[in-house]
Amino acid sequence: MERIFALTPVPTIVLDESLHIIQISTSFCTRSDLDATACRDLHIYDFVRTKTPELNVHSLQHAIDKALTTKQKAFSTTVNSSVQKNNTTTTSTTTSWHFQVTPIFEGDKLLYILVEAPLEDNAPVDDHLTKEPYGDPRYTSETYRILINSVKDYAIFMIDKTGNVTTWNPGAALIKGYQQEDIIGKNFSIFYGEEDRKARKPQKELEICLREGKVEDEGWRYRKDGTRFWANVLIRPVHRGDKLYGFCKVTRDLTERKAAELRLISAFEEASKLKSTFLANMSHEIRTPMHGMLSALSLLMDTGLTPEQHELASIIQESGSVLLQIINNILDYSKLAAGSFTTVMDVINLPGVVYNVIKCNQASLKPNVTFDSRLDPKIPRTARGDPLRYRQILQNLVGNALKFTDSGSIQIHVTLVNNDETSYEVMTEVIDTGIGIPPNLTGSLFTPFTQLDNSSTKRYTGSGLGLSICKRLAELMGGTIGYRPHSALSGSIFWFIVKLSRLEVQTSSFPVRAAPNVDITRLAAGKQILLAEDNLINQTVMLKLLRKFGFEKVDVASNGEEAVRAVRQKPLTYSLILMDISMPVLDGIEATTEIRKSGLDIPIIAMTANALKTDEEAYLAKGLNDYVPKPVDRELLLRVLEKWLQRSISLA
C-alpha cells in the first residue's frame, strides 16, 4: 500500500490526523527537488514554509480547514512557481499548482489527509490571468457557488439534456418548495401545470431553447404543495465544447408584480372610463348652450347689421360651427370609448345615403374638383344596417377628401365584396386626388387626437378624432377601415367595409304584389293614429300607406296647433302620432313640447327631410320618440310603427 503513494505520478503527500507528513511521493520530491526522508514527520505547514517556499501556505491552510469542516474534498487556489531546475542554469520554467485536499474519516474520527498537487500547466503562464485571483477557475467556481447559494430570490439550477434536474440552489428550494434531495433527478416538467404538460410545453421550451439559444417565458408554475406562482423563466443551453451538456434555468417569482400590474391596469381602465364618461357628459352639456348661441347668432345676423358687424358676426358663426363640430366629435369619441355607443338597426338604402352625402357636400367643393360616385349594380338597394352611422363614416371621409383636395376629383365607389344567405359585405371607397399622406405617417392615421399637419401654420382645422371615430364605427358595424395611397396619381384612398344583413322581408320591388305584413295588421287592429302633415299630397300618400298597413282610424291634422287640439280633446284615443316637423302655425317640435306639457306620453314619431344626425338627437331631446326621414320609406315606417306599437302593448 505504501508503494501506491510513493510511486503515484500525481505529486502527493499523506498526512496523519495531526497534519504531520507520513509519506511523500517520489513525483512530489522530483518536482520540488526534495529528499523524501528529510520530509517525513514534518508538520505540513512547516514543510511548505521551509522546503517549498514558492507555494502559498495560506492557500493550503485554507483548503485543509475547509476539507476538515465539510469532510469533503477541498481545493486551494492556484499558485505559480518558478522552479530552477538544478541541471539547467539558463532557463526556468513557470509552473502553476493547486492543492487538492482529501480528508479520510472513519465515522467522526479523522485518520488521514491526502494532499495532492497535480501539475496543471507547464506552458508559460499568462501573467495577467493568473496574478488576478478572479481569473482563477478554482477561485471563480467557488465564488460562483457562494453567489448562487446566497441568491435566495431566484431559483437557479441546471437540468440535463433530457430535462432532469441536476443541481438545486436554496433560492429554488424557497421558491419551489422542493428540497435538493426531493428534486434531483426528477424532470423539470414537474413545475408546470397540467395543461402545460399536456401541451408538451416543457419539451417544446427545450426545443426552442436549442434552436434559438434562449427561452424566456412567463406563466404559472407549481410548488411542491400544489400552490402556484406567476413565474418568469429563462432557460439557456449549456455547451461544453461542441457537446450539449444541459440547460441552466433561472426562475423568478413575479406573483406580487403580476398582481400589482393587474391592479394598475384595472385602476387605469376605471380612470379612463371615468374620463370618457366625463367627456361625454361635458360635451353634451357644452353642446346645448352652443346650439343656443348659434341660433341666436343667426337671428342676430338677420337684423340688418352694418357690413362690418356682419363680417364679425360671420366670423363668430364660422368659429362656432367649427367648435360645435369638434364637440360633436369628442362626444362621439368618448361615447365610443366608454362603450355606451350602440348602432341602431334600421333599413339602410345605400344609393340614397351616397346620393345625399354627395348633395350635401356640393357646397364645400373647390372649383376645380369634380365629385361623383360609382355604385356596383350588385349592391342591395335596401338592407338592414345603421344608416346614420354609415353616413357618418362616409361623410367624415368625404369631408377629409374635400378639405385636402384642391384640384382633380373625388369619387365614391361602393362595391359588394361578399354576400351570403344572411348578409352583405359592402366596401365603400373614397378616392381623391388631394395632397395624399406621407408614407411615414400612415401608421398613425387612425390614432385618436392625431393630426398629420402639426406645423404651427396649420391650414386645416379639426379635432383629430374623425378617423378614429370612423374606425370604431366601422368595427361596430362588423367591418374594418383602411387607407392606401392613390396609385399613379397623388392622393388618398380611404376604404371601409361594413356588414349589412339581408332584410327578412324583401322590399317589394315593382310590380310584385306585396302582402301586408301580418304583424302590423295584427298590431294595427283597433288602433287609432294621428297624422300631422300640412302637405295634402303627403297626407293622402301617408293615409293610403297607413290604411294598407291595416290602420282603419287615422285622424289628420294639417298643422301643429290642430294636432295639439286633437290630442287634448281625446287624450287617450291615439296610440301613436306621426308628426311632420315643418308645419305652419305651430311646427312639429313645438307641438310635441305642448303635448308633453299636458303630461301625455304617446309615442310621437318625427317625419322630416332633415336627415342629419344632430337633428335627430335634438328631436329626441325635445320629447319625440323616434324619427323617419322623408320621403318616408315604407319598410322603415313599418318597422318604426311595429317597434312603438309593440312597446305600448307591452307597457300596457
CB of 316 to another protein, least distance (A): 12
CB of 295 to another protein, least distance (A): 13
Q: Which residues contact 16 (CB under 8 A, 6 or more apart)?
A: 22, 111, 112, 113
Phi and psi (nearest 5°) for 60? -65, -45
The Cα–Cα gap between 499 and 435 comes to 30
Give the other-Cβ count within 10 Å of 637's Cβ.
20
Q: Which residues contact 13 (CB under 8 A, 6 or more apart)?
A: 21, 23, 24, 25, 28, 39, 44, 47, 114, 115, 116, 117
Residue in the block written with cell 435538493: 180
Q: Which is nearer to another protein, 128 or 513 (CB)?
A: 513
CB of 589 to another protein, least distance (A): 15
CB of 301 to another protein, least distance (A): 6
Q: Which is nearer to another protein, 250 or 640 (CB)?
A: 640
In SS3 terms, 89-100 reads as CCCCEEEEECCE
Give the other-Cβ count within 10 Å of 434's Cβ.
24
CB of 373 to another protein, least distance (A): 7
Q: Which is nearer to another protein, 122 or 540 (CB)?
A: 540
Q: Which is nearer to another protein, 190 or 514 (CB)?
A: 514
Q: Which is nearer to another protein, 87 or 362 (CB)?
A: 362
293 with 313: CB under 8 angstroms? Answer: no
CB of 200 to another protein, least distance (A): 57
Q: Which is nearer to another protein, 76 or 396 (CB)?
A: 396
Phi and psi (nearest 5°) for 370? -100, 155
With the CA atoms of 383, 388, 390 and 395 taken in that order, what torsion angle do they form, in degrees rounded to the nearest 10? 140
Q: Which is nearer to another protein, 386 or 635 (CB)?
A: 635
CB of 553 to another protein, least distance (A): 18
Query: DSSP code of 125?
Result: P
CB of 355 to another protein, least distance (A): 5
496 with 445: CB under 8 angstroms? Answer: no
Q: Which is nearer to another protein, 162 or 506 (CB)?
A: 506
Q: Which is nearer to another protein, 298 or 407 (CB)?
A: 298
Nearest to 224 by CA among 274, 164, 178: 178
Q: State how far the alpha carbon of 525 is from the alpha carbons of 220, 316, 520, 544, 557, in Å.
A: 64, 54, 8, 16, 21
Q: Which is nearer to another protein, 163 or 550 (CB)?
A: 550
Q: Which is nearer to another protein, 336 or 430 (CB)?
A: 430
Q: Which residues in this chain contact another protein in the complex, by CB under 8 A? A: 298, 301-302, 310, 314, 317, 349, 351-352, 354-355, 358-360, 362-363, 372-373, 375, 377, 381, 508-514, 534-538, 540-541, 544-545, 548, 580, 582, 584, 609, 630-634
The Cα–Cα gap between 296 and 290 comes to 10
CB of 359 to another protein, least distance (A): 8
Pairing of strands 553-557, 528-532: parallel
Nearest to 236 by CA among 257, 205, 260, 282: 205
The Cα–Cα gap between 502 and 513 comes to 20
On the CB side of 269, how many CA atoms lie within 13 Å of its CA?
6
CB of 331 to another protein, least distance (A): 21
CB of 607 to another protein, least distance (A): 9
The dihedral sign for the CA sequence 6, 11, 16, 20: positive
